[in-house]
Amino acid sequence: MVTESPRLTRFIYVLHGNHHEYPRDKQRLFMPPVPSLILASAIFGAQYIFLRQFTFMFFPGFLLGYLIYGSMHYAIHAWNPPFRFMKPLWRNHHLHHYKSEDKGFGVSSAFWDRVFGTFFNLEKEKEDKEKVKSLMFDK
Ligand SMILES: [Zn+2]
Ligand SMILES: [Zn+2]
């Protein structure tokens, strides 16, 4: 997101930019518990306004989706892909870090990158092993 507002710039940095600056810092992948609880409560409240009792079905799915996304992101920075078919997701995110921040937004799925045309052409992109290494957590 591009903005001139210093407050918004700071907000975006706290949510996402800091991970680009410190991709190897495990502490910056999941939001800490207290802000998570505050944000989750606000999201629950917003969903409840529209969905009423269905929120009790929708919200757990929403949280599960977020946790899967977060865990995938962690795995992408921690290990090699466990299955061959997952390799494109790993490469897509690594390229998002070191090649272009304007592409490869999908972490747990490439679906929206394919819809919006922001998926890297993985056949044309060479894998830079040194740069990938610089994104991985210490073992
Ligand atoms: Zn990342
Ligand atoms: Zn990013």
Q: What per-residue confidence (pLDDT) applies to 139?
A: 74
Q: What per-residue confidence (pLDDT) applies to 109?
A: 92
**Dist. CA 53 → ligand 2 center (Å):** 35
Would the CA dihedral through 24, 75, 129, 99 be positive or negative?
negative
Nearest ligand, CA of residue 26? 1
pTM here is 0.89
Q: What per-residue confidence (pLDDT) applies to 42?
A: 98
Quickly list DSSP for 50-80. Answer: HHGGGHHHHHHHHHHHHHHHHHHHHHHHHS-
Tens of pLDDT, residue by residue, the chain (139 residues): 789 999 999 999 988 999 999 999 998 888 889 999 999 999 999 999 999 999 999 999 999 999 999 999 999 999 999 999 999 999 999 999 999 999 999 999 999 999 999 999 999 999 999 999 999 998 7
Q: What per-residue confidence (pLDDT) applies to 126?
A: 92
Q: What per-residue confidence (pLDDT) applies to 2?
A: 84
**Number of other CB atoms surrounding residue 85 within 10 Å:** 8
**Dist. CA 27 → ligand 1 center (Å):** 12
**Dist. CA 96 → ligand 2 center (Å):** 6
**Dist. CA 52 → ligand 1 center (Å):** 35
Q: What per-residue confidence (pLDDT) applies to 73?
A: 96
